[in-house]
Amino acid sequence: MRYISTRGGIAPLRFQDAVMMGLARDGGLLLPETLPTVTAGMLDRWQYLPYQYLAKEILSLFIDDIPENDLEDLIERAYASFTHPQVTPMTRQGDVYILELFHGPTLAFKDVALQLLGNLFAYVLERTGGFMNILGATSGDTGSAAIAGVRGKNNINIFILHPHGRTSLIQALQMTTVLDPNVFNMAVRGTFDDAQALVKAIFNDLAFRDRHRLGAVNSINWARVLAQVVYYVYAYLKLRKLGHDSVDFSVPTGNFGDIFAGYVARTLLPRGCIRTLILATNANDILARFVAEGDYSRGQVQATSSPSMDIQIASNFERYLYYLRGEDGNAVGRDMDNFAATGLLDLSACRKQVAEDFRSRSVSEEETLATIGEFYRQYGYLLDPHTAVGVKAALELRDPARPVVCLATAHPAKFGAAVVRAIGSEPPLPPALAGLENRESRCAVLDADLATVRDFVAANALK
């Protein structure tokens, strides 16, 4: 299996090289040359596998440069820190199934990928004798999950940017109270889109990138997306055992990474196994507008109770655009250059293809809080605001003929203020979050300025 750029400007790479490169050197995103597919017979064999064994089967389709025993060990270590034996358990609540992705160390779905990615980085560095400086931006959960994946590891420093004052308090504390000497938090005065733009600009400075051996943990890193494919297949197989041949998924997303993993899973499985991917956004609706109208145009970021989706530039959209453009890297490059210059893309000519892949719904702040409250009163089950966005979209867009699985992307206790507004009381606080406000924290608050951020990284980077 070889990996190429969405913009067609690099020679094909092996998996380990793709992981370490993160963002392609031509500014594009990395993808497999071809997406593998599986047979119904393979699904029969996979149907009763525990999560870790299924992960090995799926990852092995995309990875051919890590020995089988080593890959198995990496997966086992990645999920040893999860508190549920099924890693991503599923529960039925009324008309929907909830796939709980928050049983990792930071109580968010990002742990599923970043616990694996941290171990992959350490594995490659141990064999090459090298070092790396990880640079990433977060709208909330990626930062703490990435830090948890590499804190204390040898030969790795990590630098995480988050938008100052625009995450939940707990999200910020989960990052800034980690005091390991290899962890550096930066709060930038701006939005997540500003932070993400700074990270991409630094990665596109190839001399700086090479000098400091930068690595990526955002979902621009293909390994992030790949790890998330597993839980779609896992959930589908659970429902297949119950006699369902076809299922839908509802995915709250702002960066297009989690739902692109669903797109890959849909391609991987036999036709019809995953019928519809429901793309749910909050008031920051660039992706919903794209699905509904072909309008991919940047707007003003609105602050909501689901801050991880307060995004107007979806970093992973380029991967899907590659397939919309018939795998034409030159066309993708032109599109992305045009978007960078104008802030918009007219993709209305692609609406028929998009409609075959996705349905969409933008969920307002009022609807989000109402969904948390109504769901809790009906079922005694507490949703975080991101998950509530997905549940609201699922309840409106689902097909009663087949089950719909809603991705629960974070524990509700991470968003206590929103929960209080919705149900009138604080959510129970799990042990992992207890006492965070009383811990020492460390964070540099910086202007959203390229030179300022670059100088901070250079001054604290491993050399």
Q: Which residues carry out catalysis?
A: 110
**Partner residues linked to 280 by β-bridges:** 252, 361
Run of H or E including 247: strand 247-252
Distance CA 73, CA 68 (A): 9
- Is residue 359 within 8 Å of residue 276, measured between CB atoms? yes
- Is residue 231 within 8 Å of residue 99, measured between CB atoms? yes
Distance CA 286, CA 296 (A): 6
Query: 382: which DSSP letter?
Result: P
Print the SS3 string covering 115-170: HHHHHHHHHHHHHHCCCEEEEEECCCHHHHHHHHHHCCCCCEEEEEEEECCCCCHH
Angle (CA) 149 230 249, round 5°: 115
The DSSP bridge pattern shows strands 96-100 and 404-408 to be: parallel
- Here the tokens at position 61 are 């389709």
Is the sign of the CA dihedral 409, 309, 138, 429 positive or negative? Answer: negative
First to last CA, the chain: 32
| Nearest alpha-carbon partner for 50 in 234, 244, 228 | 234
